[in-house]
Chains A and B, each alone.
Chain A
């Protein structure tokens, strides 16, 4: 039988199974194969907070979605073209996201009456005809896995655990992925357990060979490598990029990196990663609680180090008072908030961006600080360096916002040239900077640089400059405790002016408006960058005119933001919260922003945004609701994320799209 090879420009594949089935690992490996093949890609891991939820139940389903393409893409895809379901629960939980016509590869081994009833199937859906609209490939993956690893003498249970590798092998064949990296990965991962190692490799190979020889598949697919700017690429997740960016900030400034952190989802991987890099002088401390984590980081900063603490929303709440202290002490500090769905414990493994107002205003008194937000996994690297620059230059705590989607999602990244990154000079004060009443030289810790308003910073060990600072209000210049009314007013305004002045050093917000005559601007911040960009592409593809801009600096805003907003008839702000940025923009610029707010714990979808944007474009043009078609047309595009030109008339490069 000859197997046809069909060309595709993009594929969305989702692996789904029990939390114990190794779906995240399977997804990671397929991602690595895809990355090394040279496709552009974007991933979305989605898993329950429970480590091992009861097997075979709907809440226990864990999935990993990967979108890969022969062109630049922005999101992990709205809906899978291929769903690999390892049991009835995985099928049921993921079917509603899977459009008709998609391919379902289903492991039939667990489709027993008992398992089916458990998830609410009265009869076997593989037999009732209810999946007619799909291309269903029912296979006994577990049985075939056990058969393929017989020679290693494993128990049935251990043998069946290799089924994820069997499935990976099969799918790797189906999409013509290179397999060498997975085999060497398995050799390393199970080096100390030869039986398990050999069984996994055997299962992986058996799955691949099954595709080749069995008659289930008459078609293989090919997605050609994407055209990307020349360079060396790697795949990177947001948390990894953040950790590397923090180390880079430390290297560029010559300051020792100290991380004080308490484990919390989805931030813990930054702690895990940084703890591996002691050879860079990095010190990580797993603190007794969130407060101790930030407290220790402040201590390290007082000593002249680069103090960092990483957390998520609930932890940030606990750190508030200490962050206020850092505002008052005017010491550098980086606080990374990897947001998750709240309030309270909320949904720890699900994404959201609802901490914006908390990071801006969640402290007592007037306690302004800079806030940055990464817009893609790889952007976390540059955002971390930017945070270090601002923190050290301005002697201020900086909050970096990421979220669960960026933290765990990954994308190809053109590896930066470290030598080209500019150094960060902490400019310590080592000599007296003032004179006392008697004319003797003294050091005043709150004497400021007239341009940046950053205070003169002397660290312990500097002779003659010993001083005491604290949370009490300080007298201008001398830093002595002061309750003087006019002084307090001056100090509050000075701290605010210092933060506001940072706007002078950040790039203006750039608008992508290819035709130059758009009436509607879509403005986002943080991880909605990908979905918004994909939604915008869809609208443009069906003839809509729309401008797009994205904020990486949330405080202060870029200087030109107000002017940009006023240029458009309507400004649409999509957010994974109930309209927090929209509220800030209305308050600051008196612009009637249209808010699109969704809080489902999932990234926004490209098609839903296309519909919203298209409708607003037509509404702004005065087209009646019943005559509008743009949104629907854009939402229904089957391949909505085609290559589009940016404002310069050329395809956006990966680097540019990561801005």
Chain B
């Protein structure tokens, strides 16, 4: 059984496909049942097109989801899949990944599933750094339960359960992931297929937990939530593009950029490049491999907490650290090599016995 070596350490141990695969092979026979115009369609299409690129056996890919609109995702892919219970997908995926190093395991979740009911599992999966790829579809609303506010909805959001406006402070998923010690943290957009695919590729390549927030529009309950970054008239000024090794500069004619607070607080802010004494040379040059997560955290804070006006898009952080499931298997291998394979008879007999003779 050959395994993949495409510079994708995230896939080490997963058997390679016998030959090239195409998108159609990954489309299941199930009718897709999302609402017309749902952002999930775009993500599904991009994902189905991307999967052949991995070059691994289709039967060694597993999609694990929780509950919510996005969690129907596994039904539409002809891979192995589990549509589990609310918030618990990371736990199931962890047990699977630890015991089956030959599988490429993806977790599909949403802002309610991952950040509300499943918040605990999400953070612990990231701190352990299990080799899972987590795609969080963030539409900032509860869709399947018909329109209540979610943990990423902006304060003041008027919904069925908050007629006078939500008084909750929302999570910033990127900040949360970084605080939970995630080693690969990215954000992308449902409608930008090229960028979405790039991020998926990088996530698959990463060994360890890859956390990807996908801004995804819900046309029924929270339409236009991401207009600022989608509308051709506003998006140039709204998307803060993160490209490793490049100064963070954007806006019409590159008029905007990201700088560090000169007083050394570590805060970052968006300024007009023209106002900077040294122009582009004063801008932050993006370093996704920065040792200290405080750097990526400062970037994540450029996302507004209210109605979305501006947001960094791209890979915030990508650093390689020890991976939970690899370490667990290593301990098993070490125990076997140091003590030899276990012998059950001698285990149950133990060392303190006595004999009764007839």
Q: Which residues of A contact B (CB under 8 A)?
A: 32, 35-38, 181, 228-235, 244, 247-248, 251, 256, 258, 260, 277-283, 285, 287-289, 291-305, 307, 321-322, 324-325, 329, 381, 415-419, 460-472, 480-481
**B350 — which chain A residues lie within 8 A by C-beta?**
234, 415
User: Is the pair B91, A462 in contact by a Cβ cutoff of 8 Å?
Assistant: no
Q: Is B145 an interface residue (CB 8 A)?
A: no
Which of B57, B60, B84, B348 has a CB less than 8 Å from the CB of A471?
B84
User: Is the pair A418, B348 in contact by a Cβ cutoff of 8 Å?
Assistant: yes
Which of B94, B331, B345, B354 has a CB less than 8 Å from the CB of A278?
B331
For B30, the closest partner residue in chain A by CB is A480
Please measure, in the bound complex, the distance between the C-alpha atom of A209 and the C-alpha atom of B357, giving whole angstroms. Answer: 32
Q: In the complex, how many angstroms separate the beta carbon of A389 from the nearest chain B beta carbon? A: 16
Q: In the complex, how many angstroms separate the beta carbon of B97 from the nearest chain A beta carbon? A: 8
A-B contact count (CB 8 A): 214
Chain B window 67-97, contacts with chain A (Cβ cutoff 8 Å), 1 for yes, 0 for no: 1000000110111111111001011111111
User: Is the pair B95, A298 in contact by a Cβ cutoff of 8 Å?
Assistant: yes
Q: In the complex, how many angstroms separate the beta carbon of B209 from the nearest chain A beta carbon? A: 14
Given contacts A260-B95, A283-B98, A291-B91, contact A251 B344 (CB under 8 A): yes
User: Is the pair A298, B28 in contact by a Cβ cutoff of 8 Å?
Assistant: no
Q: Is B275 an interface residue (CB 8 A)?
A: no
**B79 — which chain A residues lie within 8 A by C-beta?**
466
**B92 — which chain A residues lie within 8 A by C-beta?**
295-296, 298-299, 302
Given contacts A279-B340, A466-B59, contact A419 B345 (CB under 8 A): yes
Q: In the complex, how many angstroms separate the beta carbon of A288 from the nearest chain B beta carbon? A: 4
User: Is the pair A248, B355 in contact by a Cβ cutoff of 8 Å?
Assistant: no
User: Is the pair B347, A244 in contact by a Cβ cutoff of 8 Å?
Assistant: yes
User: Is the pair A300, B95 in contact by a Cβ cutoff of 8 Å?
Assistant: yes
The segment from B99-107, B191-199, B222-230 found at the interface with A is B99-107
**A235 — which chain B residues lie within 8 A by C-beta?**
352
Most buried by A among B103, B124, B332: B332
Please measure, in the bound complex, the distance between the C-alpha atom of A143 and the C-alpha atom of B94, giving whole angstroms. Answer: 56
For B74, the closest partner residue in chain A by CB is A468
Which of A293, A302, A419, A470 has a CB less than 8 Å from the CB of B96?
A302
Q: In the complex, how many angstroms separate the beta carbon of B22 from the nearest chain A beta carbon? A: 16
Q: How many residues of B contact A (CB 8 A)?
A: 62
Most buried by B among A181, A281, A461, A464: A461
Q: Is B274 an interface residue (CB 8 A)?
A: no
Ordered by A's residue number, 28 sampled pairs between the chains whose C-beta atoms are within 8 Å are A32-B352, A36-B354, A38-B354, A231-B356, A232-B354, A233-B356, A258-B99, A260-B91, A277-B347, A283-B99, A295-B90, A295-B91, A298-B84, A298-B91, A298-B95, A299-B64, A303-B95, A325-B84, A325-B88, A461-B15, A461-B60, A463-B59, A466-B59, A468-B63, A469-B81, A470-B82, A471-B83, A471-B84
Which of B64, B93, B355 has a CB less than 8 Å from the CB of A231?
B355
Please measure, in the bound complex, the distance between the C-alpha atom of A111 and the C-alpha atom of B313, giving whole angstroms. Answer: 73
Please measure, in the bound complex, the distance between the C-alpha atom of A32 and the C-alpha atom of B103, giving whole angstroms. Answer: 47
Please measure, in the bound complex, the distance between the C-alpha atom of A363 and the C-alpha atom of B57, giving whole angstroms. Answer: 37
For B328, the closest partner residue in chain A by CB is A283
User: Is the pair A233, B353 in contact by a Cβ cutoff of 8 Å?
Assistant: yes
User: Is the pair A295, B59 in contact by a Cβ cutoff of 8 Å?
Assistant: no
User: Is the pair B354, A233 in contact by a Cβ cutoff of 8 Å?
Assistant: yes
Please measure, in the bound complex, the distance between the C-alpha atom of A283 and the C-alpha atom of B327, giving whole angstroms. Answer: 11
**A464 — which chain B residues lie within 8 A by C-beta?**
59
Q: In the complex, how many angstroms separate the beta carbon of A294 from the nearest chain B beta carbon? A: 8
The 7 closest A-B pairs by CB, nearest first: A295-B91, A470-B83, A299-B95, A296-B95, A280-B342, A278-B335, A468-B81
Please measure, in the bound complex, the distance between the C-alpha atom of A321 and the C-alpha atom of B88, giving whole angstroms. Answer: 10
Please measure, in the bound complex, the distance between the C-alpha atom of A469 and the C-alpha atom of B28, giving whole angstroms. Answer: 13
**B85 — which chain A residues lie within 8 A by C-beta?**
321-322, 324-325, 471
User: Is the pair B354, A281 in contact by a Cβ cutoff of 8 Å?
Assistant: no
**A260 — which chain B residues lie within 8 A by C-beta?**
91, 95
Q: In the complex, how many angstroms separate the beta carbon of A455 from the nearest chain B beta carbon? A: 15
Which secondary structure dominates where chain A touches chain B? mixed
Instruction: List 11 extra interface pairs beyond A230-B356, A295-B90, CB under 8 A.
Output: A32-B352, A36-B354, A247-B347, A279-B342, A299-B93, A300-B96, A305-B95, A321-B85, A417-B345, A460-B60, A468-B75
Given contacts A232-B353, A233-B354, A279-B339, contact A248 B344 (CB under 8 A): yes
Q: In the complex, how many angstroms separate the beta carbon of A72 from the nearest chain B beta carbon? A: 12
Please measure, in the bound complex, the distance between the C-alpha atom of A181 and the C-alpha atom of B85, giving whole angstroms. Answer: 52
User: Is the pair B82, A296 in contact by a Cβ cutoff of 8 Å?
Assistant: no
Please measure, in the bound complex, the distance between the C-alpha atom of A423 and the C-alpha atom of B332, giving whole angstroms. Answer: 24
Q: In the complex, how many angstroms separate the beta carbon of B80 from the nearest chain A beta carbon? A: 4
Please measure, in the bound complex, the distance between the C-alpha atom of A302 and the C-alpha atom of B92, giving whole angstroms. Answer: 9
Which of B94, B332, B353 has a CB less than 8 Å from the CB of A299?
B94
Q: In the complex, how many angstroms separate the beta carbon of A392 from the nearest chain B beta carbon? A: 15
For A309, the closest partner residue in chain B by CB is B95
Q: Is B278 an interface residue (CB 8 A)?
A: no
User: Is the pair B80, A468 in contact by a Cβ cutoff of 8 Å?
Assistant: yes
Most buried by A among B58, B345, B354: B354
Please measure, in the bound complex, the distance between the C-alpha atom of A281 and the C-alpha atom of B339, giving whole angstroms. Answer: 12
For A275, the closest partner residue in chain B by CB is B331
Please measure, in the bound complex, the distance between the C-alpha atom of A419 and the C-alpha atom of B97, giving whole angstroms. Answer: 32
**B93 — which chain A residues lie within 8 A by C-beta?**
299
Q: Is B62 an interface residue (CB 8 A)?
A: yes
For B63, the closest partner residue in chain A by CB is A468
User: Is the pair A302, B355 in contact by a Cβ cutoff of 8 Å?
Assistant: no
**B99 — which chain A residues lie within 8 A by C-beta?**
256, 258, 283, 299-300, 303, 305
Please measure, in the bound complex, the distance between the C-alpha atom of A192 and the C-alpha atom of B192, giving whole angstroms. Answer: 63
Q: Is B267 an interface residue (CB 8 A)?
A: no
Which of A233, A303, A329, A417 has a CB less than 8 Å from the CB of B103?
A303
For A458, the closest partner residue in chain B by CB is B80
Q: In the complex, how many angstroms separate the beta carbon of A344 from the nearest chain B beta carbon? A: 21
**A472 — which chain B residues lie within 8 A by C-beta?**
83
User: Is the pair B356, A461 in contact by a Cβ cutoff of 8 Å?
Assistant: no
Q: In the complex, how many angstroms separate the beta carbon of A374 from the nearest chain B beta carbon? A: 16
Please measure, in the bound complex, the distance between the C-alpha atom of A324 and the C-alpha atom of B85, giving whole angstroms. Answer: 10
**A289 — which chain B residues lie within 8 A by C-beta?**
120
**B62 — which chain A residues lie within 8 A by C-beta?**
302, 460
User: Is the pair B348, A381 in contact by a Cβ cutoff of 8 Å?
Assistant: yes
Please measure, in the bound complex, the distance between the C-alpha atom of A230 and the C-alpha atom of B354, giving whole angstroms. Answer: 10
Within 8 A of A (CB), among B314-338: 328, 331-332, 334-336
**B124 — which chain A residues lie within 8 A by C-beta?**
287-288, 292
User: Is the pair B332, A278 in contact by a Cβ cutoff of 8 Å?
Assistant: yes
**A279 — which chain B residues lie within 8 A by C-beta?**
332, 335-336, 339-342
**B336 — which chain A residues lie within 8 A by C-beta?**
278-279, 281
Q: Is B164 an interface residue (CB 8 A)?
A: no
Please measure, in the bound complex, the distance between the C-alpha atom of A47 and the C-alpha atom of B193, giving whole angstroms. Answer: 62
Q: In the complex, how many angstroms separate the beta carbon of B299 from the nearest chain A beta carbon? A: 27
Please measure, in the bound complex, the distance between the C-alpha atom of A594 and the C-alpha atom of B331, giving whole angstroms. Answer: 53
User: Is the pair A280, B344 in contact by a Cβ cutoff of 8 Å?
Assistant: yes
**B28 — which chain A residues lie within 8 A by C-beta?**
468
Q: Is B349 an interface residue (CB 8 A)?
A: yes
User: Is the pair B59, A322 in contact by a Cβ cutoff of 8 Å?
Assistant: no
**B349 — which chain A residues lie within 8 A by C-beta?**
232, 234, 415
For B342, the closest partner residue in chain A by CB is A280
Please measure, in the bound complex, the distance between the C-alpha atom of A174 and the C-alpha atom of B126, giving whole angstroms. Answer: 59
Please measure, in the bound complex, the distance between the C-alpha atom of A464 and the C-alpha atom of B57, giving whole angstroms. Answer: 10
User: Is the pair A461, B103 in contact by a Cβ cutoff of 8 Å?
Assistant: yes
User: Is the pair A462, B59 in contact by a Cβ cutoff of 8 Å?
Assistant: yes
Which of A181, A463, A471, A480 has a CB less than 8 Å from the CB of B352?
A181
Which of B94, B354, B357 has a CB less than 8 Å from the CB of A35?
B354
**A416 — which chain B residues lie within 8 A by C-beta?**
348
**A294 — which chain B residues lie within 8 A by C-beta?**
91
Please measure, in the bound complex, the distance between the C-alpha atom of A299 and the C-alpha atom of B352, giving whole angstroms. Answer: 37
Q: Is B121 an interface residue (CB 8 A)?
A: yes
Please measure, in the bound complex, the distance between the C-alpha atom of A471 and the C-alpha atom of B59, giving whole angstroms. Answer: 21
User: Is the pair A296, B91 in contact by a Cβ cutoff of 8 Å?
Assistant: yes
Which of B348, B356, B358 has a CB less than 8 Å from the CB of A244?
B348
**A256 — which chain B residues lie within 8 A by C-beta?**
99
For B18, the closest partner residue in chain A by CB is A463
User: Is the pair A258, B98 in contact by a Cβ cutoff of 8 Å?
Assistant: yes
User: Is the pair B98, A300 in contact by a Cβ cutoff of 8 Å?
Assistant: yes
